[in-house]
Structure 1
Amino acid sequence: MMLKKEVVKTQSGELEKNGEYRQMLVQAIYACAVKFPEVASTVVHPLMDFLGDTNVASALDVAVFVREIIETNPKLRVSIIMRLLDTFYQIRNSRVCTHSLWIIGEYCLSLSEVESGIETIKQCLGELPFYTASEEKEAQDATKNSQVVSSTTVSSRRPVILADGTYATQSAALETAMSAPVLVQGSLASVGNLRSLILSGDFFLETVVACTLTKLVLRLEEIQPSKAEVNKATTQALLIMVSMLQLGQSSVLPHPIDNDSRDRIVLCIRLLCHKGEEVRKIWLESCRQSFVKMLADKQLLETEETKAKAQILSAQPDDLIDFYHLKSRKGMSQLELEDAVQDDLKRATGEFTKDKDDANKLNRILQLTGFSDPVYAEAYVTVNHYDIVLDVTVINRTKETLQNLCLELATMGDLKLVERPQNYTLAPESSKQIKANIKVSSTETGVIFGNIVYEASSNVLDRSVIVLNDIHIDIMDYISPASCADVSFRTMWAEFEWENKVAVNTVIQDEKEFLNHVVKATNMKCLTPPSALEGECGVLAANLYAKSVFGEDALVNVSVEKQADGKLSGYIRIRSKTQGIALSLGDKITLKQKGGV
């Protein structure tokens, strides 16, 4: 109730960031209602008033919330559907409209609900056709006179990712598409929300409208005893679909309809012309079953994450503190006492490590010089979130004393050397441990390079230089798998400017195996539920997500298709707010995607 009151306060417009605050409140209420379904009835109806909110993110959160509540709370379905039909005309965002239309198509079950759903869609679409011949001619003339403006508008559109992983083009602004004289009735303010969005060139929304009308007509045929009424509704739905196809192929819009949308609408037309029991079962039952399974997978994933967090051991406030050096030595044998003293000395000098740590350390040792060089050097690299520690071992392999030996390092990328190099003197065949600290400011694959400069005792005037091998800092040390909501992923994907597109080039021939290989190579988490990856259709699309220690987001979309020869083709797209992550992840995927590497 407190969160509900706060949401109402955001309507006053007094706060500076009402939209962002409202989105956070909606997400909190969503979490409460899912965890305690008995309180959902008190908040779902007030929240539905925000479906037409100008803040797209909060409106989309409400739509997702309503979609889940209407499935998990059967008692609220009738009231939610009636409220949604009453407020549908207020929705002005395309993505919110698609969610709402899906709810209408799936949960309008009674005769009155189905008829109201069809009538609501008709009213929001307005009168048909969407344009006339004279308006098409005027649009052609206007297009010729404003080619420069149109080209600028098209270039401003940003590619967005759809639910199936493919790309669609959304208009950058509604008024851009509305500049053509395509209005049939009145001014823009009097045009229905669906009509406005469709006239802006949103063809994906057209496919959702066609699918929703198809479901409603198929369900109407089951519950409407009058055959004449069913035929009338079928004819009206077909007229709407044909009008949308004609609009997409006309010149009144800035760009023609894409093939995917056209094929989807044509499929709906064929289904309404040739209805069958198998088709009816798929459209009226299978879609809902897939959604229920998605919710079950989501709940299972959340349960597993909760269990994993619960298993993490943490010290309690009243636990005893074990000071190893203050342990009593009484009752220990002479041998045990000597071992304990040796362990203490090793810990004091930093030489005490467990066997596992020793193995990990060996894997992270990098050779900096050749075995034939007068000075041999190797480094152990420790990456600790915001800084890198280089523990360099330098060995004098000559019979001479080396004076003014200096380890000179330089960095490339967002790396910064903290300390200035110092000069050392190395006796013949002796060694020296040199430590260097490097600060990291962002998640980017950096390079550390340098050389060793020294003077031999036999020739002090001549300084010798040994060039060191480069040390590449791996981006995998900075990113870790993370989870985020589907809405947040799409929002970030639309906002992030940097994209790196990597073509699929692998010897792996199984789509799921390739996806798992990419997930393992990039240390990311697959957000696409396992149920969506089931089956063998030869096509796979999945979203991956990770977060860096600096709070930066890394987004990846994998889209692959199996060719006739069994090889995989497609693209892996990486998006991030910074250029470093996009380039570094792209390089990592290019090196690792071939299965055998």
Structure 2
Amino acid sequence: MDKPSTLLVHFDKGSAAMANEIKADLEGSDVAAKVEAMKRAVMLLLNGETLPTLFITIVRYVLPSEDHTIQKLLLLYLEIIETNPKLRVSMIQRLSDTFYQIRASRVCSIALWILGEYSLSLSEVESAIATIKQCLGDLPFFTISEEGETTDSSKPAQLVVNSVTVSSRRPVVLADGTYATQSAATEAISTPSVTPGSLALTLNLRSLILSGDFFLAAVVACTLTKLVLRLEEVQPSKVEANKACTGALLVMTSILQLGLSSYLPQPIDNDSYDRIVLCVRLLCNTGDDVRRIWLQSCRQSFAKMLAEKQFRETEEMRAKAQISHAQPDDLIDFYHLKSRKGMSQLELEDEVQDDLKAATGGFTKETDDANRLNRILQLTGFGDPVYAEAFVTVHHYDIVLDVTIVNRTKETLQNLCLELATMGDLKLVDRPQNYTLAPESSKQVRANIKVSSTETGVIFGNIVYETSNVMERSVVVLNDIHIDIMDYISPATCADVTFRNMWAEFEWENKVAVNTVIQDEKKFLNHVIKSTNMKCLTPLSALDGECGYIAANLYAKSVFGEDALVNISIEKQVDGKLSGYIRIRSKTQGIALSLGDKITLKQKGGS
């Protein structure tokens, strides 16, 4: 039976009760409690005055791949190694000792990157290489054996994993170098015959690679390349360094042989193939510049990313601290003691929603007189006998239309009715009523509309009335009212891992081609951010420089809890024009289509 993920807290002089409490939370089934316990343990670790000997190691047990808890913990583990050099040796040793227990591919990739970047001494490098080879098993992955000696799957004492045996249809070369006819040899992809108990503990990399995970195989190749390059610097014996290089090349060529064979469901992808071939060429002919890039630049980039992350968090905390939510002498507003005279039920509910938003830290849109004027829409022309204009107010899940109707004639209008209809996820709440409007007088009519999703909707309708001179009813057609999606979404932030997981999970995508008169990449990116009311997750340092190409991720969240993801990929052509695509993904179709329409309308630089 698979065990849950566990984080062990080892201590010498620290508080045993505190460590056991953290361990109990991390062994529980509550994902949020695991993450909070990890943060708490990190804070204890960094507090050197009270617990100087506390250090943390993550032990990865068999865990379903859809549980992202252990992946988040390992990323935090990575930050600890970078920010606490004194703990590096013990944490690398613990990770190397428990690496074979990892079962998820993404977690394996993170752990391999840690081993490749932070194994610095001779013993650490040799231990990391030995751990990877142990988890890969015997090589090559793609073996050739005689037909009469193929593994008998009926034997209960042995277990062959990921075995695919197919008769050869071409001359093959046996292990001793001799040729065999197609009827005398078979090709098999198999792992060594092992008992079921030991299989689940030792060959995690081999099992994942044989299942067709060539992205992980490329990570293995890159990790071995870094370790071999570092071994050449710390190993005084050139013979041992060359032996390790030869072993790494054997692993890479075995992976390429497996990926190019026709006996796996999916062949190796081009990106992984090119990456592994690059590693092979690099080990065969390494220059000083390439060595510096692989051994120094990667880690420097990661350290720079962590520094930028800490800077952003510090700036956000500083900005929040400077915001004055209330002055000491401000009056306390007791909602239940306020007068409700003249307030509709919708306005009362909206005040409660605003209070809850402010209390829970939710977003509240700032309104001023200029913005209020922008929300006044003209519904009829000045030459029509009845003039109408509407003031649109968005109350979270409701839309309120305050329609001003003016009788421009010298006659009394009888049975005047404002008839409205909706298109999209909008629902009209009130039934239309009839009014009598005196000559050259006006009347305020309110219409309430319910909103059920973040989708651009349309409100249309007519004004119908009767006069004493004309027996038939007159109709004035109203201009359509388009509900803007920007009223329902606000900028939000999320971790890069969370963004990638949502991007892979969400099924609705809207792809918009770039068509703009703007010729500067950064200016166009800022224009899209402003037009869509979204947050750019890509750090500013990644957008520095002039390369004629920009790729950035944007994120926003709606009042309904929906996530909106946008990826912008643009390139500057020779003639100076921008080309590329803007891809929008969400869990629901409405927000993807509405955002796409908004971007299409705004991307040319219009207001």
Give the distance between the partners of 2:449 and 2:461, measured in 1 at CA: 13
Give the distance between the partners of 1:520 and 1:141, measured in 2 at CA: 62
User: Is the contact between residue 142 and residue 254 of structure 2 (CA under 8 Å) also seen in structure 1?
Assistant: no
Task: Judge which range, 364-373 or 48-57, deviates more.
Answer: 48-57
- The equivalent of 2:552 in structure 1 is 542
Pair 304,83 (structure 1): closer, same or farther in 2 beyond 3 Å: same
User: Is the contact between residue 7 and residue 25 of structure 1 (CA under 8 Å) also seen in structure 2?
Assistant: no
Higher helix share: 1
Pair 137,312 (structure 1): closer, same or farther in 2 beyond 3 Å: closer
Is 1:414 paired with 2:421? no
- Displacement of 1:87: 0.9
User: Is the contact between residue 50 and residue 62 of structure 1 (CA under 8 Å) also seen in structure 2?
Assistant: no
User: Is the contact between residue 3 and residue 29 of structure 1 (CA under 8 Å) also seen in structure 2?
Assistant: no
Is 1:202 paired with 2:217? no
Determine which of 443, 447, 460 is the counterpart of 1:432: 443
Task: Judge which range, 487-496 or 365-374, deviates more.
Answer: 487-496
Question: Percent of aligned positions with the same letter in both sequences?
Answer: 71
Task: Judge which range, 519-528 or 500-509, deviates more.
Answer: 500-509
Determine which of 98, 104, 116 is the counterpart of 1:93: 104
Deviations along 1:41-67, one digit per CA (max 9) or x if unpaired, are: 877525x01475436311111111111
Determine which of 226, 230, 253 is the counterpart of 1:215: 226
Deviations along 1:166-225, one digit per CA (max 9) or x if unpaired, are: xxxxxxxxxxxxxx9732312673561111111122222122111111111111111111
User: Is the contact between residue 92 and residue 119 of structure 2 (CA under 8 Å) also seen in structure 1?
Assistant: yes
Q: How do residues 464-483 of structure 1 correspond to structure 2 at under 5 angstroms?
A: 464-483=474-493
Give the distance between the partners of 1:306 and 1:206, measured in 2 at CA: 41
Give the distance between the partners of 2:542 and 2:576, measured in 1 at CA: 22
Determine which of 302, 305, 315 is the counterpart of 1:304: 315
Determine which of 164, 189, 194 is the counterpart of 1:182: 189
Q: How do residues 110-125 of structure 1 correspond to structure 2 at under 5 angstroms?
A: 110-125=121-136
User: Is the contact between residue 37 and residue 73 of structure 1 (CA under 8 Å) also seen in structure 2?
Assistant: no
- Displacement of 1:232: 0.7
What secondary structure does 1:462 align onto? coil
- Displacement of 1:519: 1.6
Deviations along 1:453-505, one digit per CA (max 9) or x if unpaired, are: 1111212x311111211111111111111111222222222332322222333
Determine which of 487, 496, 513 is the counterpart of 1:503: 513
Q: Which amino acid aligns with 1:592?
A: K
Give the distance between the partners of 2:564 and 2:126, measured in 1 at CA: 45
What secondary structure does 2:98 align onto? helix
- The equivalent of 1:363 in structure 2 is 374
Q: How do residues 382-421 of structure 1 correspond to structure 2 at under 5 angstroms?
A: 382-421=393-432
What secondary structure does 1:532 align onto? helix
Give the distance between the partners of 1:430 and 1:593, measured in 2 at CA: 43
Deviations along 1:205-262, one digit per CA (max 9) or x if unpaired, are: 1221111111111111111110101111111111111221222211122222222222
Give the distance between the partners of 1:65 and 1:474, measured in 2 at CA: 40
Q: How do residues 510-549 of structure 1 correspond to structure 2 at under 5 angstroms?
A: 510-549=520-559
Determine which of 262, 285, 289 is the counterpart of 1:274: 285
Deviations along 1:343-392, one digit per CA (max 9) or x if unpaired, are: xxxxxxxxxxxxx9433222221111122221111111111222211111
Pair 81,197 (structure 1): closer, same or farther in 2 beyond 3 Å: same
Pair 105,39 (structure 1): closer, same or farther in 2 beyond 3 Å: farther
Give the distance between the partners of 2:513 and 2:41, measured in 1 at CA: 39
Give the distance between the partners of 1:3 and 1:558, measured in 2 at CA: 47
Give the distance between the partners of 2:421 and 2:109, measured in 1 at CA: 54
- Displacement of 1:105: 0.8
- The equivalent of 1:585 in structure 2 is 595
Give the distance between the partners of 1:409 and 1:393, measured in 2 at CA: 14
Deviations along 1:532-558, one digit per CA (max 9) or x if unpaired, are: 333444443322111112222111222
Give the distance between the partners of 2:547 and 2:518, measured in 1 at CA: 16
User: Is the contact between residue 45 and residue 54 of structure 2 (CA under 8 Å) also seen in structure 1?
Assistant: no
Q: Which amino acid aligns with 2:557?
A: K
- Displacement of 1:563: 4.2
User: Is the contact between residue 388 and residue 439 of structure 1 (CA under 8 Å) also seen in structure 2?
Assistant: yes
Give the distance between the partners of 2:315 and 2:593, measured in 1 at CA: 33
Pair 312,277 (structure 1): closer, same or farther in 2 beyond 3 Å: same
Pair 301,589 (structure 1): closer, same or farther in 2 beyond 3 Å: same
What secondary structure does 1:443 align onto? coil
User: Is the contact between residue 60 and residue 98 of structure 2 (CA under 8 Å) also seen in structure 1?
Assistant: no
Give the distance between the partners of 1:183 and 1:253, measured in 2 at CA: 11
User: Is the contact between residue 130 and residue 184 of structure 1 (CA under 8 Å) also seen in structure 2?
Assistant: yes
Give the distance between the partners of 2:56 and 2:307, measured in 1 at CA: 24
Give the distance between the partners of 1:447 and 1:550, measured in 2 at CA: 19
Determine which of 130, 138, 149 is the counterpart of 1:127: 138
Determine which of 17, 20, 23 is the counterpart of 1:8: 23
Give the distance between the partners of 2:298 and 2:51, measured in 1 at CA: 24
Give the distance between the partners of 2:545 and 2:51, measured in 1 at CA: 35
What secondary structure does 2:189 align onto? coil
Pair 318,234 (structure 1): closer, same or farther in 2 beyond 3 Å: same
Deviations along 1:419-467, one digit per CA (max 9) or x if unpaired, are: 22221111112111111122222211111111111111212x3111112
Q: Which amino acid aligns with 1:89?
A: Y
Residue ranges of structure 1 left out of the alignment (5+ in a row): 143-179, 324-355
- Displacement of 1:139: 5.8
User: Is the contact between residue 101 and residue 208 of structure 1 (CA under 8 Å) also seen in structure 2?
Assistant: yes
Give the distance between the partners of 2:270 and 2:505, measured in 1 at CA: 26
Pair 492,533 (structure 1): closer, same or farther in 2 beyond 3 Å: same
Q: Which amino acid aligns with 1:450?
A: G
Deviations along 1:550-575, one digit per CA (max 9) or x if unpaired, are: 22211122233444554433332222
**Cα RMSD after superposing both structures:** 2.9
Structure with the greater relative contact order (CA < 8 A, sep ≥ 6): 1 or 2?
Answer: 1
Task: Judge which range, 70-79 or 493-502, deviates more.
Answer: 493-502
Residue ranges of structure 2 left out of the alignment (5+ in a row): 1-14, 151-161, 169-186, 335-366
Task: Judge which range, 271-280 or 53-62, deviates more.
Answer: 53-62
- The equivalent of 1:244 in structure 2 is 255
Determine which of 239, 254, 268 is the counterpart of 1:228: 239
Give the distance between the partners of 2:51 and 2:538, measured in 1 at CA: 27
What secondary structure does 1:360 align onto? helix
User: Is the contact between residue 163 and residue 191 of structure 2 (CA under 8 Å) also seen in structure 1?
Assistant: no
Is 1:315 paired with 2:322? no
TM-score when scaled to structure 2?
0.79
Deviations along 1:151-177, one digit per CA (max 9) or x if unpaired, are: xxxxxxxxxxxxxxxxxxxxxxxxxxx
User: Is the contact between residue 507 and residue 594 of structure 1 (CA under 8 Å) also seen in structure 2?
Assistant: yes
Deviations along 1:285-321, one digit per CA (max 9) or x if unpaired, are: 1111111110111011111111221122222677445
- The equivalent of 2:498 in structure 1 is 488
Pair 505,36 (structure 1): closer, same or farther in 2 beyond 3 Å: farther
- The equivalent of 1:284 in structure 2 is 295
Q: Which amino acid aligns with 1:20?
A: V
What secondary structure does 2:131 align onto? helix
Give the distance between the partners of 1:101 and 1:543, measured in 2 at CA: 26
What secondary structure does 2:59 align onto? helix
Give the distance between the partners of 1:522 and 1:471, measured in 2 at CA: 19
Is 1:293 paired with 2:308? no
Give the distance between the partners of 1:11 and 1:321, measured in 2 at CA: 42
